[in-house]
Chains A and B, each alone.
Chain A
């Protein structure tokens, strides 16, 4: 009977297992939480094929902030009646932070598996103020006085915003200290999101680099105190301005439960309370014209590195404004126009102390003495708004007397060095009384000038054409011979004339050869041809009779002179020379 019952039970469970392949479950670690606490929401998916299920999508949960998730899976095997079944459990854990107090519902979470939608039940939650967590143990070192000890977290861990003054003027610096008070053992500290200092110009003064607590009594209790941050704020607008809270994340060691448990840490986010300060406008009444915009308390001093100078020398003039206030923001005092001294653009350096409020602004001018004489640098006024006395204050620097001596003055011009007295006796030149009042012609601008250039240039192509023609003619042999004929004739005629002067009979030889060659070249027949050949050629050309007669006569005389020397007087020679000349001129006149 018992056996039967067992079997039935087994089959039922097996059936149940096979029917419900996938199971989903959602639960939270507690249903009543404090707003300072975190809520853990776990979604568990179990079943043989749980690995196949996709990660469930977390629906948007109103009034809760999802801080992150983690997942884990486990599997178990069981053998029943020789049959092995396995079960896989996957769990997803979400950390949620409540945003508001009240009653809330975590909506159902659904997954889809094999076209089957499986949902969880909604979860009801209650969020209350404060914390439901048991506070971690306070640090033993602080000595736990049970009566004074509070278990409330907010009393044992908080940040205070300390402001040095709450009523300020615009641009007046405000120092803000954020101080952490704790009675817990702090393992780690980190800053949350950077606060937004709207309406302020912010200067960081102090940011801690490591955890460093000191003890301090506050409200009758001893706390571990740490300065978290110091900033200096310069309000840029007026009105009620709130200094934003500092967000911190504090990891606190929890109590160890056993000897082997070293304890773990738990993270608590904390925030300081916002502080409002009242910013007033700087009063408009009695506002001096030369107000620099400086707010605070300042001093002005001036210094000069030398007072005895030469023209062209340079010196430095330094204005120093020191004090506390908005050193970085105000305008530097303007220098009055000082004649004969050249002030170059100043070199401005601002040295600010660690507290970001006090410091020194130095304005260094390089000044060049331009003139000889005694000059003074007047005192410089600097007007600021004194926040403690609540009125405008003007302070002045001391003035300086300068004695500038005559110098080499090469670098910087000095007009007194050019005094007219030294120029005594000299004057400008007198006017020009007579002049040609015509407009000077600039050749370069006239067309004619460039036209001449062009014409001169044209000579090149002209000469090129000309020389080309010449070369063509030179290529012609007959033309060459004609030209040569003249040369030969000249040569022999010269020889002949010489012979005439010496009344030498050589004249005839020269005359015969010369005339013969000349004629041969002219008539284009071979040189050294006989006299007969010459004449027959002459006849062909229809030379005028007189010329032919003359030539014949001369040749005859030449022959006579050659064969019968002695029959020729000087007169004969002169006559024949004349004859020769006539022939040559006649032939040259002819066009052959």
Chain B
């Protein structure tokens, strides 16, 4: 029984690892091009790796850097956001995103003022989804162990202490599971998007005949609420909502 588990764990770890020397070579090439300030060539290389279906925070971070150097602030923001989506505790990507956001025409909120909220956000960013999954499984096994102990060893003794610990652990487990689920949802959420065209006008309805609500510029990050025949209802971080054309932005998705 124990052997089977061991084998399973081992296979799980090894399955993620597959070395592709060819891709590594392309990556090195791209890094050299970047150092030689040939940013468009470097970008081409990095993009070719991305097209291989590689999802890596560092790769996205590098692509974002290339775009930034090529003065495409919108796309650089998109890729920094992608990097953060893969690994929310990618400090370099966070810093660069914050910096790139200062180049947009519209001011955007980067951090929240609220102490509790920012603490929560920080915790949420730092803990990666896999770490949360691991913590959850460890807590779960501890709970199960305690229950097993209570069944086998403590069946005719006072159970207050182990029961109490089990309850506490269960609360923690639930908390982590919720965090884990939220993180997972965020990871698979594709409703966030970045404006790539120089500017876009938000209308009060899905056509240009409606009233202008706002104008946003390249690099604006917003939420997509609804999509309808070439138009999307978006919501800005300051609460403004309006319809913009779908070909002006790209969703942050992996």
Q: Which of A403-420 contact B (CB under 8 A)?
A: 413-415, 417-418, 420
B137, A448: Cβ atoms under 8 Å? no
B36 to chain A, nearest CB (A): 12
B137, A453: Cβ atoms under 8 Å? yes
Cβ of B187: which chain A residues have Cβ within 8 Å of it?
Answer: 442
Q: A452-B8, A459-B148 are in contact. Are A443 and B59 (CB under 8 A)?
A: no
Choose from A415, A429, A443, A467 the contact partner of B155 (Cβ within 8 Å): A467
A442, B65: Cβ atoms under 8 Å? no
Cβ of B16: which chain A residues have Cβ within 8 Å of it?
Answer: 438-441
Cα A418 to Cα B104 with chains together (Å) = 9
Q: Which of B46-70 contact A (CB under 8 A)?
A: 49, 53-59, 61-62, 65-66, 68
Q: Which of B143-189 contact A (CB under 8 A)?
A: 144-145, 147-148, 151-152, 155, 180, 184, 187
Cα A376 to Cα B55 with chains together (Å) = 50
A438, B184: Cβ atoms under 8 Å? no
A366 to chain B, nearest CB (A): 14
Cα A456 to Cα B147 with chains together (Å) = 11
B148, A433: Cβ atoms under 8 Å? no
Q: A418-B107, A452-B9 are in contact. Are A435 and B59 (CB under 8 A)?
A: yes
Query: B34 an interface residue at 8 Å Cβ cutoff?
Result: yes
Cα A418 to Cα B99 with chains together (Å) = 11
Query: B227 an interface residue at 8 Å Cβ cutoff?
Result: no
B17, A413: Cβ atoms under 8 Å? no
Query: B130 an interface residue at 8 Å Cβ cutoff?
Result: yes
Most chain A CB atoms below 10 A, which of B5, B133, B214: B133
Query: B20 an interface residue at 8 Å Cβ cutoff?
Result: yes
Cα A557 to Cα B55 with chains together (Å) = 83
The segment out of B23-31, B118-126, B190-198, B243-251 that lies at the interface is B23-31
Cβ of B155: which chain A residues have Cβ within 8 Å of it?
Answer: 467, 471
Q: Which of A205-251 contact B (CB under 8 A)?
A: none
Choose from A415, A448, A456 the contact partner of B141 (Cβ within 8 Å): A456
B135 to chain A, nearest CB (A): 11
A445 to chain B, nearest CB (A): 8
Q: Which of B96-135 contact A (CB under 8 A)?
A: 96, 99-100, 102-108, 129-130, 133-134
Query: B87 an interface residue at 8 Å Cβ cutoff?
Result: yes
Query: A451 an interface residue at 8 Å Cβ cutoff?
Result: yes
Query: A455 an interface residue at 8 Å Cβ cutoff?
Result: yes
Query: A437 an interface residue at 8 Å Cβ cutoff?
Result: yes
Chain B's closest residue to A468 (CB) is B151
B92, A460: Cβ atoms under 8 Å? no
Q: A441-B16, A442-B129, A442-B184 are in contact. Are A448 and B23 (CB under 8 A)?
A: no
Most chain B CB atoms below 10 A, which of A417, A463, A466: A463
Query: A72 an interface residue at 8 Å Cβ cutoff?
Result: no
A534 to chain B, nearest CB (A): 34
A413, B140: Cβ atoms under 8 Å? no
B12, A463: Cβ atoms under 8 Å? no
Query: A431 an interface residue at 8 Å Cβ cutoff?
Result: yes
Query: B229 an interface residue at 8 Å Cβ cutoff?
Result: no
A426, B151: Cβ atoms under 8 Å? no
Query: B11 an interface residue at 8 Å Cβ cutoff?
Result: yes
Cβ of A15: which chain B residues have Cβ within 8 Å of it?
Answer: none
B140, A453: Cβ atoms under 8 Å? yes
Contact string against B for A residues 463-475, beta-carbon threshold 8 Å, 1 for contact and 0 otherwise: 1101100110000
Cα A427 to Cα B17 with chains together (Å) = 34
Cα A455 to Cα B54 with chains together (Å) = 32
Cα A451 to Cα B8 with chains together (Å) = 9
Cα A260 to Cα B182 with chains together (Å) = 100
Choose from B5, B57, B144 the contact partner of A457 (Cβ within 8 Å): B144
Q: A437-B20, A456-B141 are in contact. Are A467 and B55 (CB under 8 A)?
A: no
Choose from A417, A438, A442, A446 the contact partner of B17 (Cβ within 8 Å): A438
Cα A162 to Cα B148 with chains together (Å) = 104
Cβ of A460: which chain B residues have Cβ within 8 Å of it?
Answer: 144, 147-148, 151
Cβ of B207: which chain A residues have Cβ within 8 Å of it?
Answer: none
Chain A's closest residue to B204 (CB) is A345
B27, A442: Cβ atoms under 8 Å? no
B133, A429: Cβ atoms under 8 Å? no
Cα A459 to Cα B151 with chains together (Å) = 11
Query: B3 an interface residue at 8 Å Cβ cutoff?
Result: no
B97 to chain A, nearest CB (A): 9
Choose from B23, B96, B106, B107 the contact partner of A429 (Cβ within 8 Å): B96
Cβ of A457: which chain B residues have Cβ within 8 Å of it?
Answer: 140, 144
Choose from B68, B108, B134 the contact partner of A428 (Cβ within 8 Å): B68
Query: A432 an interface residue at 8 Å Cβ cutoff?
Result: yes
A463, B152: Cβ atoms under 8 Å? yes
Cα A426 to Cα B147 with chains together (Å) = 56
Cβ of A455: which chain B residues have Cβ within 8 Å of it?
Answer: 5
B232 to chain A, nearest CB (A): 21
Cβ of A433: which chain B residues have Cβ within 8 Å of it?
Answer: 31
Cα A413 to Cα B215 with chains together (Å) = 12
Query: B200 an interface residue at 8 Å Cβ cutoff?
Result: no
Cα A470 to Cα B152 with chains together (Å) = 9
Cβ of A449: which chain B residues have Cβ within 8 Å of it?
Answer: 12, 133, 137
Cα A457 to Cα B5 with chains together (Å) = 13
A409 to chain B, nearest CB (A): 8
B→A interface (CB under 8 Å): 5, 8-9, 11-12, 15-18, 20, 23-24, 27, 31, 34, 49, 53-59, 61-62, 65-66, 68, 86-87, 92, 95-96, 99-100, 102-108, 129-130, 133-134, 137, 140-141, 144-145, 147-148, 151-152, 155, 180, 184, 187, 211, 214
Which 5 residue pairs across A and B have the least CB separation, nearest first? A413-B107, A435-B58, A443-B133, A463-B148, A448-B12
Q: List 11 A-B contacts (CB under 8 A).
A: A413-B106, A431-B62, A435-B59, A437-B23, A437-B49, A440-B57, A442-B130, A442-B184, A443-B130, A448-B8, A456-B144
A→B interface (CB under 8 Å): 342, 345, 413-415, 417-418, 420, 423, 426-433, 435-444, 446, 448-449, 451-453, 455-457, 459-460, 463-464, 466-467, 470-471
Besides the contacts A440-B130, A442-B130, A463-B151, what 11 more A-B pairs have beta carbons closer than 8 Å? A418-B107, A430-B65, A431-B65, A438-B54, A440-B86, A442-B129, A446-B12, A452-B9, A456-B141, A467-B155, A471-B155
